[in-house]
Structure 1
Amino acid sequence: MSARRPPVPAPAPHGLRVGMVCPYSLDTFGGVQQHVAGLAAGLRAAGHHVEVLAPGDTDRARSPHVTVVGEGQALPFNGSVAPVRMGARRQVRAWLAQGRFDVVHVHEPAAPSTSFTAVRALLEEPVPVVATHHIAQDRALALRVAAPTVLRQVLPRIDAHIVVSEEARRTLLRYHQVDAVPVPNGVTVADLDRTRTAPPLAERHDLVFVGRPDEPRKGLQVLLEALPEIVARHPGTRLVVVGGDRLPREPASALRRALEPLGLAVDDVVEAAGRLSDDGKVERLARARVLVAPNTGGESFGIVLTEAMAAGLPVVASDLVAFRAVLDDGRRGLLVPSEDAAALAAGVCTLLGDLALSEQLARAGHEAAYACFDWSVVAPQVLEVYADAGAGQDAPGGGRRGPRLGWSPAPSGT
């Protein structure tokens, strides 16, 4: 399998100084953290200087061009438990003053976090502010409560808005009456592409799930319910869980009971691999037969899908709106009804039993990973938004402030 590699971007003749703020702790595994790290690397590859500010307190969080503001604290947010750091105003202000940035790019400013604090600190400063919104939720209590109160303090200060998908755009419009530019999540395809060295699909047997096992919306409980049917029809199949070393208790107990008639134990068919390094995850993807994404909702994009596509791996995923967009309505992966264990088992068995279809979907996904989702393609789209916000343009009075794109006050009565 091969795909056209995009050209390496040439360094910018006059690189921007970008201050990027992540709301969630870099000590933990999550899509927003991956996005921030990937975008920062993509912008640096294009010749720009990027400094990252985020919660964090471990060696994993500490790296060059990253400033941490202390350990994150667990906060229920967007159907999950987000490790955020509230306050830290002195540290945020010191980082902003020292950075002398041409643009400040905050992620998820709706979260009570360093992102919100950074925008508050810039209320009277001329630097352009860009925000990326990752949330897609039909029922977001936190957003509904914050929209008319806290967030109204900072939204008018943001000069341009980005969303990672049309689903995230719909959420932003619904709760904040703010429009935005869709720019997808990116992935460094070359770091994941093992298509020339990995065993052929016909020689692989593992299913792989990537996500936090204890987060219900990631859907591992649905996959565990489907697993007995899968291993009964395809003996020797094993599930590798990447992202945690413990299975949720009740689904694991139900799986144990369902496997007993097959003469199997949970350890015979499931490996909880824990949180792996990036290289460790790449190796697991390279040895897997199918990536399974049984998520139940609350997804704005699907980084796990693009990672699998980059690795040349066929995908079975829940038919969520965001996943459907990434998988091009099923042309890049197999879609099945959400929260339906029987349908999930049937979908996985379809790919396990049809090598030609698996290879076709893997090839389509791999080509799309390079053409649509590689950071060399995505980062220039973000730079266009920076330019629209006024980054790098000398403004009257010595500031660097562009038009405030996307903000419009809510109509009365909404």
Structure 2
Amino acid sequence: MRILFVSDLYYPHLGGVSEHIFHLANEFEKMGHFVRILTGKMEGDFKPDERRVIRIGYGMKVKYNKSVGRITIGFDVLRIKKIMKEFDVIHSHGGISPTLPILALCFSDKTNFLTFHAGFDRCLPYAIFNPFFKYLFNKIDGKIAVSKTAEKSFGRYFKGEYRIIPNGIETKKFYPRNNKKEKTILFVGRIEKRKGVEYLISAMEYVIKEVKEATLMIAGGGYGSYKLFIPKSVEKNIQFLGFVSPDKLPELYSSANVFVSPAIGNESFGIVLLEAMASGTPVIASDIPGYRCVVENNIDGILVPPKDPVSLGKAIVNLLNDKKMQNNLIENGLKKAKRYDWSNIAKEILYFYYEVNPKLP
């Protein structure tokens, strides 16, 4: 089968959508399918699979959903139409959003799939241009949501049947190693407002009063403004690692005693939570819908109220000081993570392709 993934978000843009597409493409190629990725040109050095990427136009940064996304401008419509004719399946990612997924739906006469990734409360463009977006929505043969949270976000504007197929992880890459550093806390992610890093930094003031040797490692770009406002009382206990390349992340995950993701909302799924679980590191996360899809509270992780540094700090201290709780969360987290291996997710999506169109090659 010839499969074309379409997305405004792809490497070198870092994030969950890029990872999702990359790993699906890898798994489909292992099965013998031909895969290409249509996206925009953008600055950056991390391009792990450029041989299968078709770049059209330029990916421009935009602020959206309390994060930074991309839209593609300066594209060649005729070339896009010509490219799509060469494929059996057109699978767009992100949502019915500017601009490449919209073009794909407008001009495709193939079997169309769209994976809805985002979690959000309201989307003004969907409300304003609803008739046009509904027309495009009706052209989607197979609708996939990565979680119930994503389904609810888009279902508010577009009623229909969604297949829930979650994100995955590489369990051969993320696994426990014997490299734990005592009393270490880890955050991994883009450092932006919706990730809630400021609340984790505030929580450290409580943590070091109880566990003086505790150290917080923050891995991710964009930390400059946060570094300026760290209280002096915790300066020595916080390390900003900057961008950590994907090949070094597994060792970093497994080195920590506790992984914390204090996001304040707008998360559709918690890939980082599963990566930490697979690495044998217990998880503390905000009690938000996207994370409740992954974490079962006090079974394979701990959920705390968002924007509450005191509750977060207490949860961290309790876990750092309780080896039995750590071991229970690690054991259950490892079991859960195995179910989300990318090979299983790819098979589920492929079955859905054939369920929607049994005549696909």
Residues 302 and 128 of structure 1, relative CA distance in 2, 3 Å threshold: same
Identity of aligned residues (%): 28
Q: How many residues align?
A: 358
Which position in structure 1 is the counterpart of 2:70? 83
The reply on whether 1:198 has 2:185 as its aligned counterpart is: no
- 1:190-247 CA deviation, whole Å, 9 max, x = no partner? 1111x2x332x5x43321111111x211110110111111122112222111121524
| Alpha-carbon RMSD | 1.9
Whole-angstrom distance in 2 between the partners of 1:245 and 1:236: 26
1:320-367 deviation per Cα after TM superposition (whole angstroms, max 9, x unaligned):
122112012442101111110000001111111111111111111111
Which residue of 306, 311, 317 corresponds with 1:338?
A: 306
- Contact 1:245/1:273 (CA < 8 Å) preserved in 2? no
Match of 1:128 in 2: 111
* Structure 2: distance between partners of 1:20 and 1:59: 21
226, 246, 266: which one pairs with 1:298?
266
Match of 1:226 among 178, 183, 203: 203
Is 1:110 matched with 2:96? yes
> AA paired with 2:35?
V
Q: 1:91 to 1:328 in 2, by over 3 A?
A: farther
1:276 matched to which residue of 2? 244
Q: CA deviation at 1:182?
A: 0.3
Amino acid at match of 2:346: A
How far does residue 79 in structure 1 lie from its aligned partner after superposition?
2.5
Pick closer, same or farther for the CA change 1:74–1:275 going to 2, 3 Å.
same
Structure 2: distance between partners of 1:85 and 1:307:
30
The answer (yes or no) to whether the contact 1:39–1:186 under 8 Å persists in 2 is no
Q: Which of 327, 341, 349 in structure 1 is aligned with 2:295? A: 327
Partner of 1:383 in structure 2? 350
Match of 2:327 in 1: 359
Residue 116 of structure 2 corresponds to residue 138 of structure 1: no
User: Residue 207 of structure 1 aligns to a residue in which SS?
Assistant: strand
Counterpart of 1:407 in structure 2 is none
DSSP 3-state at the match of 2:51: coil
Q: Give the whole-Å Cα distance in 2 for the aligned partners of 1:87 and 1:303.
A: 32
> Among residues 150, 154, 163, which one is paired with 2:145 in the alignment?
163
Q: What is the CA–CA distance in structure 2 between the aligned matches of 1:65 and 1:321, rounded to whole Å?
A: 35
1:397 matched residue in structure 2: none
CA distance in 2, matches of 1:91, 1:198: 51
For structure 2, the 5+ residue unaligned runs are: none
Of 275, 285, 299, 2:253 maps to 285
2-side partners of 1:91 and 1:27: how far apart?
Answer: 23
- Larger RCO: Structure 1 or Structure 2 (Cα < 8 Å, ≥ 6 residues apart)? 1
Contact 2:185 2:215 in 1 (8 A): yes
* Unpaired runs of at least 5, structure 1: 1-15, 395-414
Could you tell me which amino acid in structure 1 is paired with residue 185 of structure 2? L
SS at match of 1:154: helix
Alignment of 1:178-217 (within 5 A): 178-193=160-175, 195=176, 197-199=177-179, 201=180, 203-213=181-191, 215-217=192-194
C-alpha distance in 1 between matches for 2:80 and 2:242: 33
Mean CA deviation greater in 39-48 or 58-67: 58-67
Q: For residue 95 of structure 1, what is the amino acid of its counterpart?
A: I
Question: Counterpart of 1:280 in 2: which secondary structure?
Answer: helix
1:233–1:111 CA distance, 2 compared to 1 (3 A): same
Alignment of 1:173 onto 2:158: no
Asked whether the equivalents of residues 129 and 389 of structure 1 are also in contact (C-alpha less than 8 Å), the reply is: no
CA distance in 2, matches of 1:45, 1:315: 32
SS in 1 for 2:35: strand
2: distance between equivalents of 1:205 and 1:242?
17
What's the TM-score, normalizing by structure 1? 0.81
CA distance in 2 between partners of 1:391 and 1:275 (Å) = 44
Secondary structure of the equivalent of 1:67?
strand
Q: Which residue identity does 1:375 align to in structure 2?
A: W
Given candidates 5, 9, 13, the residue that maps to 1:28 is 13
Pair 1:19–1:227, CA change in 2 (3 A): same
1:65 to 52, 58, 65: 52
Whether contact under 8 Å (2:95, 2:118) holds in the other structure is no
Query: Which amino acid in structure 1 is aligned with residue 342 of structure 2?
Result: W
Normalising by structure 2, report the TM-score: 0.93
Report which of the two structures shows the higher radius of gyration computed on alpha carbons.
1
Letter in 2 for 1:338: P
Secondary structure (helix, strand or coil) at the match of 1:298 reads coil
Structure-2 residue corresponding to 1:400? none
Report how far residue 270 of structure 1 moved.
Answer: 1.9
SS in 2 for 1:342: helix
More strand by share: 2
Task: Decide whether the 8 Å contact of 2:190 with 2:222 is kept in 1.
Answer: no
**Which deviates further from its counterpart, 276-285 or 342-351?**
276-285
Correspondence for 1:101: 87
Contact 2:95 2:117 in 1 (8 A): no
